[in-house]
Amino acid sequence: MAPLAVGDVIPDGNLKYFDENNQSQDVSIHSLSAGKIVVIFAVPGAFTPTCSQKHVPGFIEKAEELKSKGVAEILCISVNDQFVMKEWAKTYPDNKHIKFLADGSGAYTRALGLELDLSDKGLGIRSRRYALLVDDLKVKVANIESGGEFSVSSADEILKAL
């Protein structure tokens, strides 16, 4: 499947997360995105160096600025289970705006056409690193990284597009 591109409507899919009451929830991407401007960014894996030290912290740092420019939701997706995502989210006590969503089976990542085979590194099938700017379900910006790079999917790059 070809990767999601500018102009495409994002597919719907159910992901899992823990709410503020520590309850596991299923959430539809469309329910979080319909009628809103959202940023969806994905990482190859929770607790991995670039994801944990650069990608997520950049979005936490720029969240208020993104919100001030009309972004209603900032969603972080990883091909990890909801328990791993819950524990990873706890490592960012300053986070007030990012929802950590689990794509445990990788089904949503496959629907986007953005899977990354990291089997040679012992990680299996994961998500490519990306950042999407979505307006009412339509992709306005698709900053998709090659391999293990981190050059176009930062919060700063999304801010430039707003």
pLDDT reported for residue 1: 62
pLDDT reported for residue 125: 84
Domains assigned to the chain = 36-161 (3.40.30.10)
What does the pLDDT look like over 43-86, one tens digit per residue? 998 998 898 899 999 999 999 999 999 999 999 999 999 999 99
> Is residue 76 among the annotated active site residues?
no
What does the pLDDT look like over 142-161, one tens digit per residue? 999 987 789 999 999 999 99
What the block records as the tokens of 68 is 């001030």
The 10 Å CB-count burial string (b at 16+, else e) for 8-34 is bebeebebbbbeeeeeeeebebeebbe
Catalytic one of 51, 98, 139, 155: 51
pLDDT reported for residue 119: 77
Contact of 77 with 108, CB cutoff 8 Å:
yes
**What pTM was estimated for this model as a whole?**
0.94
* Phi/psi-derived region of residue 144, left when phi > 0, alpha when psi is between -120 and 50, beta in every other case: beta
